[in-house]
Every structure is written in structure tokens, then in C-alpha cells.
Chains A and B, each alone.
Chain A
Amino acid sequence: MAFDYLALGIFSLVIIFMAAYGYKVSAKTAEDYMMAGRTIGVVVMFFFVLFAISSSWTFYGFPGLLYLHGPGYVFFIWGSVAGFAALYMFLGPRLWALSKLNRFLSPIEALSERYESKTLRVLLSIAMLAFIVPYVGIQPLGVGRGFEALTGMPLWVGAAYTSVLLVILVVLGGMRIVAWVNIFLGMVYVTALLGSLFWAVSVIFPDAGLVQAAHELVEISPDKLSTPGPLGEYTPTLVIGTFVVGLLAFAWPHVVIGAMTARDKTLFKWFPLLIFIFGGLFFYVIPFIWGSLVAPAALPGVTSVAEADSIVQTVIQIYLPRWFAVFVLMGVIAAAVSTAAVQLMTSSIIVARDVIQGVLKPNASDKQITSLARYSVAGIVIVSLSVTIFVQLGIGEEAMALYLTDVSVPGFAQWAPALVGGLLWKRGTKQGAIAGTAVGVIYLILGLLITGSGGERFLLFNLHPVVPTLPLNALVYVVVSKLTPKPSEHIEDIFFTEVEDYLLSDRSAK
């Protein structure tokens, strides 16, 4: 046990040291704290974004769902890879250029200026915070579960440990150090996830590795090797729907904000290469093999969602030495902290820049909003920890994978029409953006909250929440935009002409 504490202590000291160093070298301006001074290059950006999206969900929720339902859920990953690449290929250059030219510090600020609307700024801020803050809370919860399984300590201990690390990292380090620390955290996580897979396969299936695992699965449960899976859930309709939900990853606010921190436009040329090769063809395949092949062949028979969520860790604890299980837990903490830190940064920027400076205190100085962003980090962590408290008290829902895909992703998707239209469609108007976003968010919330006696979401026609809400949002946005006066030529100049001229010039390549 002493080794566990020592290892976790050293791990947290490394993070705290990096955060303190980041504070020392930072320029102490809002642009430096929130946008990393717009100096992030392609390699740092890759680790920053990949591990901002690869949370403890990739260790618990994702393999857990594959374990229970077979490989159909992997289409969420294929969709996400395409969605993230699409963000950097299609929207990223424009968002980056207009933010750099106009010194915008948040994507919501950029959209509120594009649509000339404070109402939209408030609406988008509230909607994004409402869907991102509980997602932040899931990360400490994942670590708490890992602590509980490994050491027997209560759930809240691991959650509190993660939260303290998060607050120190984000408050001191800001966006630049969050990005740099993601390199360290990402390496720890990849080593733990890949190392545990290689080691477990060599121990459990010594004769033929993955081929042996697959053949054993053919004998035990062949339904787990194809869709629709052993429970018959992943029908073609659901598989395609899952893929479409994955595609919407381009609208995750904590990923969108990453595009604004880029050093120059060449990043957008190279970044998709890393996403396709390292993300799509390597990194996400590791938890897929764990959840769909190795775990079901090694430990068949688990049927509860909570046990399935922990299946990878359970296999590691049974078959590998204890010291390695501690290292893997460190990897899970790394995954949780890297994601939650970026989400926390994003949330604090929205609170400080969009809600406080944008609406409540327009004259706030640069120094004041930097301080406000730091204070809001602590507040957001406290609110997000309620997720852990609810679960500890037995009130909350623990199916982590479904929280991400059923609540957060549909919520993030509700700003997609305003975002895409604002960047690409000159005719998109303030009224259209407000109406579309409001209709989508209200419909989504009502659809999730008002359910039948059997839990059926009849307002959503029992479809995935994003299926009826997003098209309605987009339709309202387009129709209302067409029916209202088009934006002024001044707005067209700033958000289209100047941006295109800048991107075509050599100035944007420096």
C-alpha cells in the first residue's frame, strides 16, 4: 500500500511542478492564460486535443459497453475521428483566423460578435456550461472508481484527489500548461493502456495472442464478435445513428476552443494526419481490443453495467502484478485529468469572458477577468463534484458511456448550427441563431426529463436525443435566418472577406 501512495504522490508532484513552472513563465495576460498566447504548435496541439477527448471514458465506459453489447458501439469512434478531423479541416482555419484578427478569447464570444447578439452569448454560455460541467464531474468519478477497486478506499477519496490536482493545474497553469501537461499525461495513459494490453494478452492467451482470444470468444459467445451483439441492441439503425452522433464531435466546445490556440495556419494542414493515423488507426483501437475481444474472452459472464465499466481494470488486477495495476490507475488518472483540465479551462473562460465580462461587467480589466477565470475553476469543480456525491449516495446513474453519448454530445450539438452557419454561411442571422439554439436546447431538456413510466423518452420518439433535436434546431435556424434581414456588410467584411484574405496571405503562416 505504501508503494501505491508513493507512486501517486510522485505523479501528482510532477503535475504540480509543471503547473507552478507554467505560472512562472506565463505572461499573466488573459490571452496568455486562456489561449496559451496563441502559440500552440502541431505536436502539442495533437496531444492537447487527443487527450482532451480521451477521458477515463476510454478506459471504463467505452470498453464496458463493447463488453456488454459487442463491437457495434465502435462506430461512435469512427464518427468521432471524422468529426474531429472535419473540425480542423473545415471550420478550424476560419475560427482561428477571425479569433486572432479580432482577439476573441472564446468561440462563444466570436459567435456573439458574428451575430451581434448578447442574448445569444448568454444562451450559448448557459447551454454549454450546463452540458459540460456534469461531464467534468464524470472524470473524478472515474478515478474514484479506480481507487475503490484497487485500494478499497471510498469513491470520494479518488474523486477528491483528482479534483485537487485539477484545481492546481488549471488555476496556476492556464491553457498553455494544460496543453503541455497533456503530453506527459497522454504518454502515461498510452503506455498504461497499451502496455497492459500487450502484457495481459501474453499472460492470458500465451499460445496465439489475439487470435486465441478471438477463437475462445467464438466458443463462449460468438454474438460478441459482430453486430447486433449478444443483446441484439446494435441494429443497423442504431449503428448508423451512433456513427452520426460521433460525427458531431466537431461541436464539442472544449475541442473547438483548441483550434483558437493554434500558432499559425499550417497547423490545420498537418493536424488531421495525426488524428487519422495516431487517433483512428492506433489509439482508439487499443480500448476497442480490450473491450470487445480480450476482456470478454478472459472474464466472460459479467452482465451488470457497473461491473462491465470496470472490466479492464478487473482483468488487470486478476492477471497482472499489483504494482502494474497502480501504474494503470495512474494512466486512468492521467486520462481523467487531461480531459477535465481542458473542460475546466473552457468552462472558466465561458464564465469569465462570456458571462461576466460579456454581460455582467463589460468594463472588467484584463487582469480582473484572468482572476475571475481562476476563481470560477474552483466553483465549477465544486459543482461538478456533485456527480460523485450523487453516485456515492446511490442516487446517480453510473453508465458513463451513455452519459457521454446520450446527454453531453446532444447538448454540445445544439450550438452546431449557429457555429457552422456563423463561420460558413453569410446569410445566417442573429434571430435564426437564437431561435434555432433555443428550440433545440429546450426540446432536448424536455425530451430527456419527461419520460414514460418505463423510462421511454416519448417526446424524442424513443430515438437518440440528437436525432430529433438537431435537425429541428438546424431547420429553425435556416428558416428564421431566411425570413429576417441579412447581416450588415460590416459583419460580412470582418467575418468573411478579411478572414479569407488573411488565410490566403503569408501573414497567417508565421
Chain B
Amino acid sequence: MREIAGHWPGRIFLLVLALSIIIMGVLVAAGFTEMQVLLFGWMTMPLVLGSAFVIIWLIAYLIYFFKFWPYR
């Protein structure tokens, strides 16, 4: 992690990950997961929110680890 925090792409990567956690917390606090809405007729909001969170981490990881990670 020291190598990641040591350069700008890494700091942006960490910022994206941290922001995704904060935004998820804000959405939970705002009652997003309390909505009884079913995406595609069966996906509950906790599943939708969590899947979106994992996808954001996945995209950020792919970009950073394959283009910028110093040990790649």
C-alpha cells in the first residue's frame, strides 16, 4: 500500500475506493435499501447496491493494477 499511496494514480485509486464506501454508507443512511423496489423483478436494493459497489472496485482495480501499479 505504501507503493500505492506514493504516487498520484495510486492516490486517485485509493480515493475512488474510499469514496465508493462513503457513498454506499450515505445511500444506506438515506434509506436506499429500505425501498421495496425489485430490479428485473427480483433484485432487491441491498443486492443492487452491493453489486454496484463491487463493480466500481473491479473497474478501479483493473485500471490501476494493470496500468499503474509499480510492481506490475
Interface string of B1-37 (1 = CB under 8 A from A): 1111000000000000100010011001101011110
A204 within 8 Å of B (CB atoms): no
When the two chains form their complex, are residues A89 and B61 in contact, meaning their CB atoms are under 8 A apart? yes
Say whether A222 contacts B58, CB under 8 Å. no
**Chain A residues positioned under 8 Å from B54 (CB to CB):** 78, 81-82, 276, 280-281
Given contacts A71-B46, A81-B54, contact A243 B24 (CB under 8 A): yes
- Is B44 touching A211 in the complex (CB atoms < 8 A)? no
List chain B residues, Cβ under 8 A from A288: 47
Q: Can you name the residue of chain A whose Cβ is closest to the Cβ of B2?
A: A424
Q: With A and B bound together, what is the CA distance between A503 and B47 in angstroms? A: 37
How many residues of A are in contact with the other chain, CB < 8 A? Answer: 50
Is A226 in contact with B1, judged by CB distance below 8 angstroms?
no
- Provide the bound-state CA to CA distance between A209 and B42, in Å: 9
Kindly list chain B residues whose C-beta atoms are within 8 Å of the C-beta of A503.
3, 70-71
Instruction: Indicate which residue in B28, B38, B46, B55 contacts A281 across the interface (CB closer than 8 Å).
Output: B55
**Given contacts A236-B31, A503-B71, are A72 and B46 in contact (CB under 8 A)?**
yes
What is the bound-complex CA distance between A504 and B34, given in angstroms? 47
Those of A197-248 within 8 Å (CB) of chain B: 208-211, 213-215, 218, 222, 225-228, 236, 239-240, 243
* Structural contact, A276 and B50, CB atoms closer than 8 A: no
Q: Does A334 contact B (CB under 8 A)?
A: no
In the docked arrangement, what's the CA distance between A85 and B62, Å? 12
Task: Provide the residues of chain A in CB contact with B55, threshold 8 Å.
Answer: 281
B34: which of A89, A218, A228, A508 is its contact (CB, 8 Å)? A228
Within 8 A of A (CB), among B43-57: 44-47, 50-51, 53-55, 57
Contacts of A293 in B (CB 8 A): 42, 44
Q: Which of B40, B50, B61 has the most CB of A within 10 A?
A: B50
Would you call A91 an interface residue if the criterion is a C-beta within 8 Å of the partner chain's C-beta atoms?
yes
A74, CB-defined interface residue at 8 Å: yes
Q: Contact between B29 and A240 (Cβ–Cβ < 8 Å)?
A: yes
Contact status A273-B50, CB under 8 Å: no
By size class, the interface of chain B is 35 or more
Contacts of B41 in A (CB 8 A): 208, 210-211, 214-215
* B53 pairs with A78, CB closer than 8 A: yes
What residues of B have a CB within 8 angstroms of the CB of A277 in the complex?
Answer: 58
Known: A78-B53, A239-B33, A503-B3. A269 touches B66 (CB 8 A): yes
By beta carbon, the residue of chain B nearest A74 is B46
Main secondary structure of the interface of A (DSSP, over half): helix
Interface of B is mostly: helix
The residues in A between 240 and 287 inclusive whose CB is less than 8 angstroms from any CB of B are 240, 243, 265, 268-269, 272-273, 276-277, 280-281, 285
Q: A93 to B71, Cβ gap below 8 A?
A: yes
Query: What is the CB-to-nearest-CB distance from B46 to chain A, in angstroms, rounded to a whole number?
Result: 4
Most chain B beta carbons < 10 A, residue from A78, A222, A228, A500: A78
Q: Say yes or no: A273-B62 contact (C-beta < 8 A), given A71-B46, A74-B47, A226-B33.
A: yes
CB-CB under 8 A from B21, the residues of chain A are: 82, 243
Q: Residues of A contacting B34 with CB < 8 Å?
A: 226-228
Q: How far is it, in angstroms, between the C-alpha of A504 and the C-alpha of B7 when the chains are bound?
A: 15
B50 touches A78 (CB 8 A): yes
Please tell me if A12 contacts chain B, counting CB pairs below 8 Å. no
A224 to nearest B CB, angstroms? 9
Query: CA A90 – CA B4 in complex, angstroms?
Result: 8
Closest chain A CB from B72 CB (angstroms): 6
* B42 CB contact (under 8 Å) in A81, A93, A210, A272: A210
A292 to B61, CA, bound (A): 29
The answer to whether the Cβ of A105 comes within 8 Å of any Cβ in the partner chain is: no
Find chain B residues with CB under 8 A from A285 CB.
47, 51
Report how far A91 CA is from B50 CA in the complex, Å: 24
A268 to B29, CA, bound (A): 34
- Chain B residues with Cβ under 8 A from A85's Cβ? 57, 61
Q: What residues of chain B lie closer than 8 Å to A500, measured between beta carbons?
A: 2-3
Does A48 belong to the interface (CB within 8 Å)? no
Chain B hits for A75, CB < 8 A: 28, 46, 50
Given the known inter-chain contacts A71-B47, A280-B54, A503-B71, please indicate yes or no for A272 contacting B61, CB distance below 8 A.
yes
Complex alpha-carbon distance, A78 and B46, angstroms: 10
CB B39 to nearest CB in A, in angstroms, measures 10
Interface assignment of A77: CB less than 8 Å from any CB of chain B:
yes
Bound-complex Cα distance A277 to B51 (A): 10
Inter-subunit contact B25/A240 (CB<8 Å): yes
Determine if A276 and B38 form an interchain contact, defined as CB atoms under 8 angstroms apart.
Answer: no
Of the listed residues A77, A91, A265, A276, the one surrounded by the most CB atoms of chain B closer than 10 A to its CB is: A276
A239 touches B28 (CB 8 A): yes
Q: State the Cβ distance, B38 to closest chain A Cβ, in Å.
A: 5
State the 3 A-B residue pairs at the shortest beta-carbon distance, nearest first: A211-B41, A90-B1, A280-B54
* Contacts A82-B21, A239-B33, A240-B28 supplied; 5 other A-B pairs, CB < 8 Å: A75-B28, A89-B4, A226-B34, A273-B58, A293-B42
Residues of B within 8 A of A (CB): 1-4, 17, 21, 24-25, 28-29, 31, 33-36, 38, 40-42, 44-47, 50-51, 53-55, 57-58, 61-62, 65-66, 69-72
Q: List 5 A-B contacts (CB under 8 A).
A: A78-B54, A93-B71, A225-B44, A240-B25, A496-B2
